[in-house]
Homo-oligomer: A and B are copies of this chain.
Amino acid sequence: MIETKRRGGRPRSEQARQAVLHAVDDLLLEVGYAAMTMKGIAVRAGVGRQTVYRWWSTKAEILFEACVDDAEEELAVAPARTRLAEVTSYLDALMRFLAYSPAGAGYRALLAAAEHDPAVKQLIATKDVLRDSARAVLHRIAPHRPAGDHAIDLLIGPTFFWIMSGRDPAQLDIDELARSFFHGFGSEEP
């Protein structure tokens, strides 16, 4: 039996769990990650503080649980006709995720928190949604290639840097980026 041992007692309230996850989603957009507190989450969810601490250690854990599923879904793009279209479509999804999606906001907050806290770094390493999504795309457009990290970084890096350095997402030229992915800086000889 995989079922966890339970010897009586009130079972965990799924309602409380959902309330906490939604509270985190809401608070992230309303006040931002830094101003989001465990106390605030509990109050917003209408839940006791101990109930929060019983199931999660930090706000990062809650946020991770709250946004990882959405993130995976948003980064999974449908196959396209050409390889260029496939990459373009993926980069578009990536940009939208990082720049506009609530789940993406959560992910960015977690990445930032990871920079300040090794525990968070370890947490998000358990499910690398960004690299996984890119790997899937690369596997489709070049099934005979190993799809190593190198290609993944080439694919994600420029868009990632654009967003993370605070540039306007609307001014990112996805098409040009997709072309450069295949052709590089230019035709000139290095």
Contacts and interface: CB of A to CB of B under 8 A. Distances in A.
Interface stretch (A14-22, A37-45, A64-72, A149-157): A149-157
Q: Number of copies of this chain in the oligomer? A: 4
Q: Give 8 nearest A-B pairs by CB, closest first.
A: A157-B157, A184-B184, A112-B115, A157-B158, A84-B190, A112-B112, A153-B158, A34-B116
A114 B109 CA distance: 10
A103 to B, nearest CB: 15
Nearest to A160: B161
Interface in A133-190: 142, 149-151, 153-162, 164-167, 173, 176-186, 188-190
Contact of A182 (B33, B83, B188): B188
What size tier do the contact residues of chain A reach? 35 or more
A108 B124 CA distance: 17
Contact of A166 (B121, B179, B184): B121
A26 interface: no
A131 interface: yes
Contacts of A121: 166
Nearest to A162: B153
Contact of A112 (B83, B113, B150, B184): B113
Interface string A95-138: 00000000000001101111111000100110010110000000
Contacts of A158: 150, 153-154, 157-158
A79 interface: no
Interface string A55-98: 00000000000000000000000000011100100000000000
A32 interface: yes
Contact of A116 (B112, B155, B190): B112
